[in-house]
Amino acid sequence: MYELVFLGTGCPNGTKRRGEASIFFDGLLMDCGDECVDKLASLNLINRVDSMLITHLHKDHIADVAALLSLIALNSTELKTINIFSPPGFFKILEEHTNISKILSYFSEKISIELHEGLIKNKCIGGKIISAYEMNHNVEDYGYLIEFDGAKLFYTGDTRKCTIPIKADYVIHDSMSTESEKGIVEDTGHSTAKDAALFAREVDASVLFLTHINDNWISDNNELIDEAKIHFRGEIYVAEDFAGFSLKSKSELHLKLRNEVQDRKKDRV
Ligand SMILES: [Zn+2]
Ligand SMILES: [Zn+2]
């Protein structure tokens, strides 16, 4: 089983209910917004982070990176390598706003950073294969395809509806609001629940997670689900901070589908 934990599911800034963007998936940290470190610590996950996938350089996706790297270094008993994937310019921004190089040099026997800036393809990290795809936000944003145990998970980061040439079993998609706010959602480079559902359908996904939700507009998760399910027939979940899911391998997913079909047949008898 592969563990997926949503740490921050809000946008554009964190609220009490929904913090800034960050998601933990089996050692990979996808984005690292404000309060990510506190949340990882409260779940005892700090030492399990071995890679970071940064989708883009907006503050709500990178605010806690320096704090997290420092804490990983502080906790390490031996040299730990952290792979960081991001669009170009990430480390320069980090240096401008933090004293990260100084921190890392101080901890040089505890932590080593491998930086992969740009559109990487088929990079093998910890048994998973990672590829980046350009999405459609107001700044350069990478969506990441992660292949694990035969299954594929795709995380969009912030994006308007766009089409990319992949297939994925699981999709985690920006879903700032519903079609009722379409104008402002599109202007700010985000997606509605409908956009997310259409993307999930196009890539043949079985499961769609909606995240990066604006709390001011969406108080009831059913508003998002009701809109998404018109366009996508798979399972749909609205992410909440601290919600955890177990992702299945490709063969387990097939088994589950087969059982569901058999159950439906039984119901008809
Ligand atoms: Zn953004
Ligand atoms: Zn964002």
What's the pLDDT at 261?
60
How far is residue 180's CA from residue 251's CA, in Å, rounded to a whole number?
39
Q: What does the pLDDT look like over 87-138, one tens digit per residue?
A: 999 988 888 888 788 878 888 889 999 999 999 999 999 899 999 999 999 9
**Which range (3-12, 132-141, 246-255) has the least confidence?**
246-255
Q: What does the pLDDT look like over 162-182, one tens digit per residue?
A: 999 999 999 999 999 999 999
Q: What is the DSSP letter of 180?
A: G
Backbone angles phi, psi at 54, to 5 degrees: -100, 120
Record: fold of 2-268 = Metallo-beta-lactamase; Chain A (3.60.15)
What's the pLDDT at 262?
64
What's the pLDDT at 176?
97
Ligand at minimal distance from the CA of 61 is: 2
Ligand 1 centre from 57 Cα, in Å? 7
How far is residue 145's CA from residue 56's CA, in Å, rounded to a whole number?
15
3-6-100-133 Cα dihedral, nearest 10 degrees: 80
The residue extents of the domains of the chain are 2-268
Instruction: Give 58's contacts (C-beta < 8 A, 6+ positions apart).
Output: 139, 158
How far is residue 19's CA from residue 25's CA, in Å, rounded to a whole number?
17
Ligand 2 centre from 72 Cα, in Å? 24
Q: What does the pLDDT look like over 170-217, one tens digit per residue?
A: 999 999 999 999 999 999 999 999 999 999 999 999 999 999 999 999
Tokens 């101080």 belong to residue: 106
Ligand 2 centre from 194 Cα, in Å? 18
Backbone angles phi, psi at 161, to 5 degrees: -55, 130
Mean pLDDT of 254-266: 63
Ligand 1 centre from 44 Cα, in Å? 28
pLDDT above 80 for 266: no
Helix 90-97 to helix 65-75 angle, to the nearest 10 degrees? 80
Environment of ion ligand 2 (residues, CB < 5 A): 60, 158
Q: What does the pLDDT look like over 35-64, one tens digit per residue?
A: 999 999 999 999 999 999 999 999 999 999
Question: Which helix (H) or strand (E) covers residue 183, if one does?
Answer: helix 182-187
**If you count them, how many residues does the chain have?**
269
